[in-house]
Amino acid sequence: MRNERSLLKQNYHAAAWNEPIIMQMGRKGERGILVPEAEEEIKEVVGDVLSRIPTDLRRTEPPKLPEISQPQVVRHFLRLSQMCLGTDLNIDIGQGTCTMKYSPKVNEYLARLPDISELHPLQDEETVQGILEIIYKFAGFLSEISGMDKFTFQPGGGAQAIYTNACIIRAYHAARGESQRDEIITTLFSHPADAATPATAGFKVITLMPDENGYPDLEALKAAVSKRTAGMMITNPEDTGIYNPRVREYVDIVHEAGGLCSYDQANANGILGICRAKEAGFDMCHFNLHKTFSSPHGCSGPGCGAVGVRDYLEKFLPVPVVEFDGEKYHIVYERPFSIGKVRSFLGNIPVVLRAYAWVMSLGPDGIRDVAEVSVINNNYLAKKLSQVSGIGMSYPKAKCRLDQIRYSWEQLRRETGVGTEDVRRRVVDFGVQSYFESHHPWVVPEPFTPEPTETYSKDDIDEYAEILRYISQEAYVSPDTVKNAPHKSTITRIDERILNDPKKWAMTWRAYLNKRHSWDSQGQ
Amino acid sequence: MKPVKKRIGLIVNPIAGIGGRVGLKGSDGREALRKARELGGKPESPKRAKEALLRMASIKHELDILTYPHEMGEDEARECGFEPIVIGSIKKGETTSEDTKSAARDMAEARVDALLFAGGDGTARDIYDAIGGRLPVIGIPAGVKIHSAVFAINAQSAGDLVMMFLREPAELWEAEVMDVDEEAFRRGLLSTKLYGYLKIPYQDRLFQGPKRGSIAGERSSMNGIAEYFAEEIEDDYLYIVGPGTTTRAIHERLGLPKTLLGVDVIRDRQIVASDVNENQILRLVCDKKAKILVTPIGGQGFIFGRGNQQISPDVIKKVGKEHVIVVATGHKMASLGGRPLLVDTGDDETDDMLSGYIRVITGYRQELVYRVGLGKCF
């Protein structure tokens, strides 16, 4: 029998090194590595390389890099790593829609083998037959999983994959002489990239609001379609975790109007091996290999948004594509109808390799288990959270909840003044990441969206639910403890309003210095 | 010397809400008030004011409350454990809207940091008449009529807003002051008019709805709408432009002045007529091609029939539903919480024609398809 102990990590405290930014460290002239002078013989063979750099490209003064010794650099980055909570370090249930799951270490080992890490994208195809085979076969797996006919792995992430699909929709209508079709329909609870990327591709974006049960308003769709409809780009299940079982009807309405339908399956965890984009009538889809297929997110990459299309859209896929002639694999660029490139070469190959290894280790039954276990986990967490005061479920009447649910702390906020942002700051005191609330706009008040994927054990889920239960109780008894959180973390609070103020952003150290100068002069 | 403590003005309209439960449409005017009392009506405002004040109890030593005597704030503040600074004088039990106005003026004079008031649309209008946009205000909803957008979602939220306002500096935002259109009322129509704008501290969730947004995001949405409109605007069409801050942003983009509370007409990017009434519009339209540009007015999402009655059923019928353009920021649409946009033009046929679904421009090349319902019951 397990030891009876509190589920909460009451003694947790995050590392708080108060580490400066590396640009503020070190001293002038300090060096991490002293590069040895080249030997005379080498100099003779190589000659004067520097004089070949055109004068107008030469720096007149060296770049302002940090000047700092090696031990300090190592210490600095180890400290930073201690102040981060990654998926290998915490119960990452709070990051709903991100599909945080365990990335088996053996797959990481494979991806780091020199056979992979030393491949060059410009190598002759004769010398890379092995990896081309993996790419080709993995595309076959995804065809089986989705029903689509052909895949590309070129997009480096989900949004880029959706953008690729928007470009394919544009190319399809242009090829048919129907460029007046300039409207893409999406839904409010689809991922925001389903609105943002078609806008980038030049489309107008028409959004459908949810009906009273959280489903996209079908009547609004009927009112929205016209001769200007280029297509519909949606997720299902949506952000709320609600699966729309009538999705085929929506697809049919758009098809009748002459549009294409693109299925955002970045997160396919709840339906993997159970239902397919093809049978729902979609013309194209995409999967995030760094979500559903277990490759790590890697702090914004490298990722891969695998795009799949039906046979009648194959010719529009980005170049190059991998073809197999029965004996050899080929990298093919000559495709006159292609939308071109959205990124260079064949994509982030190590990501494809990890996903391939993950699928091979599971097999078809294992793939289906992933979906079933994640749905069971989600329902178990829902049951636990239904016993927590102050939590409500968005659209409680919607029956089909799959792998995640958008909850609301609205009742807690009404009764105690403690809202979702307060709880979000408080959870980190128990050694888990601050959670994901919702994409914008916040239609569900005081939202949060946990997603307990197949990775998490019953104990993990119990611990996570206990953290939320404890904080809810705290909100009723001593709300200020929650409002002033975190108490045990690396940093205390940040003013989130600056996130919306471009004047307060700095993408580089130089921009920071410039902007700080102007703040100072304005007396801010 | 400037006081270290922040100072909040408190005005309770002691009779607000008295007519609600007894079926009256408000308590403005002595006759209505007498009737309400006779029918056994009880004011909502003292209770609501206290709910808001109790929410602020934990910081009561960190602020000074400046208020008017007795039932206009003093009683409520004391009952909640505050020690208010009481100014002005009233006739106990016989206060009128003049007392609200003089209280607002006195508090503006005393330079309070913000004004917290409990009441309804009439109270908001009195404050607007007295001090315009001189002070940031926070409305505790306690009246029968709450069409104005200056009110918090509920009394507790009003208290939370004061707390937040004291904790960190807030940007200010214009919110509509609406009240019953007395002229229309005398003609037997219940309809509201847009009176003006008061400044509220921007805290979207507690004021207008559940969406997290930002003042910068809001401005950029308006700019996006304006840019899109400027691209799509067609020559040879008359544009009948309703009141509102979003339509004002469009005029600004075109370099044109805008009557904030009224209807303007533009054509070929020039003003044809400003602040027009129904007849003027009808004469201008005559048999010309025209479009109507409106934005929801007030907190309830009316696109026709509240604050823009100059755009009458006859005008709408002449122009046609397909030429009605609705603009609103995504924030404003989200704040409707799924409720439909509303129309109440006073003509059933026109209302029926407008109901169903309509496109709403929410940003640069961004639109919603949104439900339009009948607003008669509101």
pLDDT > 60? residue A412: yes
Q: pLDDT per residue over A219-229, tens digit each?
A: 999 999 999 99
Task: Report pLDDT digits (tens) over B72-106.
Answer: 999 999 999 999 999 999 998 888 899 999 999 99
Nearest by CB: B366 against A205, A443, A445: A205
Nearest to A448 by CA among A491, A478, A410: A410
Domain count, chain B: 2
Interface test with B, best of A215, A226, A442 (most B CBs within 10 A): A442
Distance CA(B10)–CA(B86), nearest Å, equals 10
Please judge whether B212 and A199 are an interchain contact, meaning their C-beta atoms are less than 8 angstroms apart.
Answer: no
Coil, helix or strand at residue B56: coil
pLDDT tens digits, residue range A205-216?
999 999 888 999
| B368/A206 touch (CB, cutoff 8 Å), yes or no | yes
Out of A84-98, A266-280, A507-521, B195-209, which region has the weakest mean confidence (pLDDT)? B195-209
B254 occurs within a structural domain:
yes
* Range B199-233 burial, b when 16+ CB lie within 10 A, else e: bbbbbbbbbbbbbbbbbbbbebbbbbbbbbbeeeb
CB A321 within 8 Å of CB A300: no
pLDDT digits (tens, 9 = 90+) for B306-321: 778 889 999 999 999 9
Considering the domain architecture, whether residues B257 and B329 belong to the same structural domain is answered as: yes
A164 and A266: one domain?
yes
A140 and A77 both lie in a single domain: no
The pLDDT value recorded for residue B205 is 53
Using beta carbons and an 8 Å cutoff, which residues of B are at the interface with A?
55, 58, 156, 160, 168, 205, 210-217, 330-331, 333-334, 337-338, 356-357, 359, 362, 364-371
Banded pLDDT at A376 (limits 50, 70, 90): very high
pLDDT tens for B127-152 read 999 999 899 999 998 877 777 888 88
* Residue where a domain terminates, one of B175, B205, B235: B205
Count of CB atoms situated within 10 Å of the CB of A337:
14
Pairing between β-strand B63-67 and β-strand B356-363 as defined by DSSP bridges: unpaired
Rounded CA-CA distance B269/B287 in Å is 20
For the cut 90, the answer to whether the pLDDT of residue B41 exceeds it is no
- Whether A171 maps to a domain, the answer reads yes
The rounded distance, in Å, linking the Cα atoms of A216 and A189 is: 8
- Of the two residues B191 and A30, the one the predictor is more confident about is A30
Residues B347 and B221 in one domain: yes
- Structural domain range at position A221: 134-359
Q: Across-strand partners of B177? A: B196
Question: Are residue A208 and residue A353 in the same domain, yes or no?
Answer: yes
Same domain, B74 and B220: no
Report the residue of chain B nearest A204, measured CA to CA.
Answer: B365
Nearest residue to A187 via CA among A162, A215, A167, A165: A215
* pLDDT averaged over every residue in chain A: 93
Interface with B, mutate which of A203, A407, A439, A443 (most B CBs under 10 A): A443
Chain-chain contact of B371 with A480 (C-beta, under 8 angstroms): no
pLDDT in tens, A334-360: 999 999 999 999 999 999 999 999 999
pLDDT at A493 over 90: no
Written as six digits, the tokens of B348 are: 């059933």
Q: Is residue B56 part of a domain?
A: yes
Best of A184, A194, A206, A250 to mutate (most B CBs within 10 Å, chain B): A206
> How many helices and strands (H and E) does chain A possess?
15, 12
Residue B190 and residue B50 share a domain: yes
Q: What separation, in Å, do the N-terminal and C-terminal C-alpha atoms of chain A show?
A: 60
Provide the token pair at A191: 């991922």
CA distance A228 to chain B (A): 13
**Mean of pLDDT values over A32-56:** 90
- Residue B337 inside a domain? The answer is yes
Q: Has residue A148 been placed in a domain?
A: yes
d(CA A516, CA A514): 5
- Average pLDDT of B174-183? 78
Angle ∠(A392,B170,B295) on CA atoms, nearest 5: 70
Q: Which residue has the higher pLDDT, A502 or A417?
A: A417
Whether the per-residue pLDDT at B216 is higher than 50: the answer is yes
Same domain, B41 and B132: yes
Compute the average pLDDT of residues A132-139: 98
B139 and B240 inside one domain: no
Q: In chain B, what residues touch A208 (CB-CB under 8 Å)?
A: 368-369
Integer Cα distance of B60 and A166 in angstroms: 56
Asked if A220 is an interface residue toward chain B (Cβ–Cβ < 8 A), one would say yes
Residue B58 reports pLDDT greater than 90: no
Q: Based on the domain organization, do A146 and A72 belong to the same domain? A: no
Residue A470: pLDDT over 90 = yes
Q: Return the exposure string of A212-250: e unless at least 16 CB atoms fall within 10 Å of the residue's CB, then b.
A: eebbbbeebbebbbeebbbbbbbbbbbbbbbbbeebeeb
pLDDT over 80 at A400, yes or no? no
A194 in Cβ contact with A207 (< 8 Å): no
Are B234 and B184 found together in one domain?
no
Picking from A359, A384, A417, the residue at the C-terminal end of a domain is: A359
Identify whether the C-beta of residue A8 lies closer than 8 Å to the C-beta of residue A463. Answer: yes
The residue among B176, B205, B234 that closes a domain is: B205
Instruction: Evaluate the CA torsion angle B219, B225, B226, B231 in order and state its sign.
Output: positive
The alpha carbon of residue A192 is apart from the nearest alpha carbon of chain B, in Å, by 12
Mean pLDDT of chain B: 86
Residues of chain B found within 8 Å of residue A441, distances taken between Cβ atoms: 211-213, 330-331, 334
- Dump pLDDT digits (tens) for B337-378: 788 998 988 888 999 999 999 999 999 999 999 999 987 654
Task: Express each pLDDT in A479-491 by its tens digit.
Answer: 999 999 999 999 8
In a domain, B137, yes or no: yes
The pLDDT assigned to A88 comes to 92
Report percent pLDDT > 70 for chain A: 98
Domain co-membership, B253 together with B308: yes
Residue A335 lies in a domain: yes
Distance separating alpha carbons of residues A490 and B224, to the nearest angstrom: 39
Measure the CA–CA gap between A188 and A186, rounded to whole angstroms.
7
Please give the pLDDT value at position A451: 97
**Are the Cβ atoms of B338 and A205 closer than 8 angstroms?**
no
Please say if the pLDDT value at position B49 is more than 60: yes
- Cα separation of the two ends of chain B: 49
| pLDDT at A256 > cutoff 80 | yes
Q: A204 has which bridge partners?
A: A183
Q: What stretch of H or E contains B326?
A: strand B324-327
* Chains A, B: CB pairs < 8 Å: 87
Q: Which residue has the higher pLDDT, A133 or B302?
A: A133
Over range A66-91, report the average pLDDT.
94
For B356, the domain range is: 215-374
What would the pLDDT profile of B227-259 be if each residue is shown by its tens digit?
A: 999 999 999 999 999 998 899 999 999 999 998
A524 touches chain B (CB under 8 A): no
Do residue A213 and residue A344 come from a single domain?
yes
Please state at what angle helix A349-385 crosses helix A129-146, rounded to 10 degrees: 30
Looking at the structure, do residues A140 and A64 belong to the same domain, yes or no?
no
Q: What is the pLDDT of residue B213?
A: 52
| Overall domain count for chain A | 2
CA B134 to chain centroid, in Å, comes to: 16
The DSSP annotation for A104-136 comes to: -HHHHHHHHSHHHHT--TTS-GGGGHHHHHHHH
Q: In this structure, are residues A16 and A428 in contact, taking their beta carbons and an 8 Å threshold? A: no
For residues A370 and A366, give the distance between their C-alpha atoms in angstroms, rounded to a whole number: 6
Q: How far is the C-alpha of A274 from the C-alpha of A291, rounded, in Å? A: 17
Spatial distance between the Cα atoms of B148 and B302, rounded to a whole number of angstroms: 12
Last residue of a domain, one of B205, B229, B263: B205
CATH number for B58: 3.40.50
CB contact under 8 A, A443 and B210: yes
Range name among A31-40, A59-68, B132-141, B330-339 with the lowest pLDDT average: B330-339
Asked if A446 reaches chain B (Cβ–Cβ under 8 Å), the answer is yes
- For residue B186, name the pLDDT band (cuts at 50, 70, 90): low
Res B208: pLDDT: 39
B42 and B114: one domain?
yes
In the numeric block, which tokens belong to residue B17? 């809400």
In chain A, whose CA is at the least distance from the CA of B59? A480
Query: Looking at the domain assignment, is residue B324 inside a domain?
Result: yes
Least-confidence region, from A67-76, B35-44, B219-228: B35-44
Q: Is A225 a domain residue?
A: yes
Taking the C-alpha atoms of residue B175 and residue B151, their distance in angstroms, rounded to an integer, is 9
CA distance A282 to A168: 14
Name every residue whose Cβ is closer than 8 Å to that of residue B233 and which is 6 or more positions away in sequence.
Answer: B239, B254, B269
> Which residues in chain A are closer than 8 Å to B357, comparing Cβ atoms?
219-220, 223-224
User: Which residue of B168, B172, B365 is the best one to mutate when testing the A interface, meaning the one whose CB has the most A CBs within 10 A?
Assistant: B365
Residue B203: what pLDDT?
A: 65
Query: Is A116 a domain residue?
Result: no
Residue B346 domain-assigned?
yes
**Statement: residue A5 has pLDDT above 70:** no
Range from A14-23, A469-478, B144-153, B279-288 carrying the lowest mean pLDDT: B144-153
DSSP-derived secondary structure for A269-319 = TTTTTT--TTTTT-SEEEEETTTTT----TTT-S--EEEEE-GGGGGGSPS
When pLDDT is cut at 50, 70 and 90, the band that residue B211 belongs to is very low
Is residue B134 domain-resident? yes
DSSP run (H or E) holding B266? strand B264-267
CB contact under 8 A, A442 and B368: no
Answer whether A199 touches B (CB < 8 Å). Answer: yes
Residue reference for tokens 């509370």: B261
In Å, how far is B221's CA from the nearest CA of chain A? 12
- What gap in Å lies between CA B339 and CA B209, rounded to an integer? 12
For residue B21, is pLDDT > 70?
no
pLDDT of amino acid A108: 95
CA distance A128 to A131: 6
How far apart CA B378 and CA B376 sit, in angstroms, is 5
Contact B365 A442 (CB under 8 A): no
CB B315, CB B292: distance < 8 Å: yes
Predicted pLDDT at B2: 47
Collapse the DSSP code of B359 into the 3-class scheme (helix H, G, I; strand E, B; otherwise coil) and give the result: strand
Check B371 against A445: CB less than 8 A apart: no
Nearest to A209 among B356, B359, B368 (CB): B368
Does residue A504 sit at the B interface (CB-CB below 8 Å)? no
A47 and A185: one domain?
A: no
- Predicted confidence (pLDDT) per residue in A288-324, tens digit: 999 999 999 988 889 999 999 999 999 999 999 999 9
Tell me chain B's radius of gyration from C-alpha atoms: 21
Say if residue A1's pLDDT is above 60: no
**Can you give the CATH number for the domain in which A330 is found?**
3.40.640.10
Report the pLDDT averaged over residues A278-293: 97
Q: Which residues pair with B358 in a beta bridge?
A: B370
Is residue B104 classed as helix, strand or coil in its secondary structure? helix
* Position with higher pLDDT, B24 vs A109: A109
Q: Are residues A78 and A138 in the same domain?
A: no
Q: Which one of A82, A108, A126 terminates a domain?
A: A82
Asked if A409 is an interface residue toward chain B (Cβ–Cβ < 8 A), one would say: no
Within 8 A of A221 by CB-CB distance, chain B residues are 369
- B210 within a domain of the structure (yes/no): no
Rounded Cα distance between A441 and B225, Å, is: 17
Per the CB < 8 A criterion, the answer to whether B27 and B42 are in contact is: no
